[in-house]
Structure 1
Amino acid sequence: MLAVVPPARPRKLAKVPFVELADGRLQGVVSSGSDVERVYVSSIAAGTHAYHCSTNNNRPCGGLRGAPCKHLHALTDEALLQYGVDRVARYLRVDVGDGLGTGAELLSRLDGRPEPTPSAVVFSRFLRHLAYLELPDSTVALPELHWFPAPGVGR
């Protein structure tokens, strides 16, 4: 049975409701600071450190002007809280050297450039996670979540 790894530190979900290390990227969904109905899908590729940020309807982020935007900064800050510095740095293949404390410090060690990446998969995964929140409480197992350990099992 696979154990679920708890977050390295608690985090607030309002600004970055979804962050993951998947598909060879640090990627996630970041809320807009100016429009409650807009979110951004932001990502940083492992190894190449190519980065991208666009709205949920694939419009490029206006803050991407040759450097990571504020959404990428928020994403990396939350990734460090969720997964811990060592795990994120290892995944992105970044030398932590003296250590990192913030997403800005992590971003300063990247040597990537903007590169469009598909955001639909990340946004779809986020929406699927949101759909689970709308399910009524139940003790019946969901087939697609069969790999999650039951509460109290394996602890």
Structure 2
Amino acid sequence: MPVWERSSAARVVPPARPRKLAKVPFVELADGRVQGVVSSGSDIGRVYVSSIVAGTYAFACSTNNNRPCGGARGSFCNHIRALVTEAVLQYGAQRVARYLKADTPAGEADAPTLLSAMTATRPAQGDTSAAAPVFSRFLRHLAYLELEPVTAPLPEMQWFPPTRAVA
């Protein structure tokens, strides 16, 4: 059994390149989508929950209050473009392209090329049903930032069944 399977700690993959969190504070590859939270460019109190479905590139963008994005009318809005750009910074262009099942020229996977390849397929606007769980995960991540740094285990993170110690 590999060492990482015997550990209760998850491996953390470092970002491909450093990124600023002010515009896109949360981005993830999960549930068959690239999804995340994008700050509004005009209102500091507003954020958008944006997502793109892998394979079909169906997209959704709405505010945290579930109001539709005004820029997502038949094509990717600026929030979705920012989300893909930050996903490429966080996970690397090749990984994001593979996850989205995007057909990009070999060795040319960067955010503009990836967005161009997806736009060429004329993606449809999808539903916003993923917005609530994505925003909830974002808020949970924010709560962990407010905790004092300690080495003691967090009760909500102790969901592994007890096992005997590995020698």
TM-score by length of 1: 0.89
Matches of 1:91 and 1:85 in 2, distance apart? Answer: 10
SS in 2 for 1:109: helix
Amino acid of the residue matched to residue 139 of structure 2? L
Instruction: Please list, as runs of the form range in 1=range in 2, the aligned pairs for 1:62-73 lying within 5 A after superposition.
Output: 62-73=70-81
Partner of 2:139: 127
Amino acid of the residue matched to residue 110 of structure 2? G
Partner of 2:109: 100
Partner of 2:153: 141
Matches of 1:65 and 1:38 in 2, distance apart? Answer: 19
Q: CA deviation at 1:146?
A: 5.5
Partner of 2:56: 48
SS in 2 for 1:54: strand
SS in 2 for 1:132: helix
Aligned residues: 146
Matches of 2:157 and 2:35 in 1, distance apart? Answer: 21
**Highest RCO, 1 vs 2 (Cα 8 Å, sep ≥ 6):** 1
Larger Rg: 2
Matches of 1:71 and 1:79 in 2, distance apart? Answer: 12
Q: What percentage of aligned pairs have identical amino acids?
A: 66
Deviating beyond 4 angstroms after TM superposition, the runs of 4 or more aligned structure 1 residues are: none
Matches of 2:50 and 2:103 in 1, distance apart? Answer: 22
Q: CA deviation at 1:105?
A: 2.3
SS in 1 for 2:45: coil
* Runs of 5+ unmatched residues, structure 1: 148-155
Matches of 1:142 and 1:79 in 2, distance apart? Answer: 28
Per-residue CA deviations over 1:78-97 (Å, capped at 9, x if unaligned) read 00000001110000001221
Amino acid of the residue matched to residue 80 of structure 1? V
Per-residue CA deviations over 1:34-64 (Å, capped at 9, x if unaligned) read 0000000000001111001000000000001
Question: Residue 80 in 1 paired to residue 88 in 2?
Answer: yes
Instruction: Please list, as runs of the form range in 1=range in 2, the aligned pairs for 1:1-16 lying within 5 A after superposition.
Output: 1=4, 2-16=10-24
Q: CA deviation at 1:136?
A: 1.7
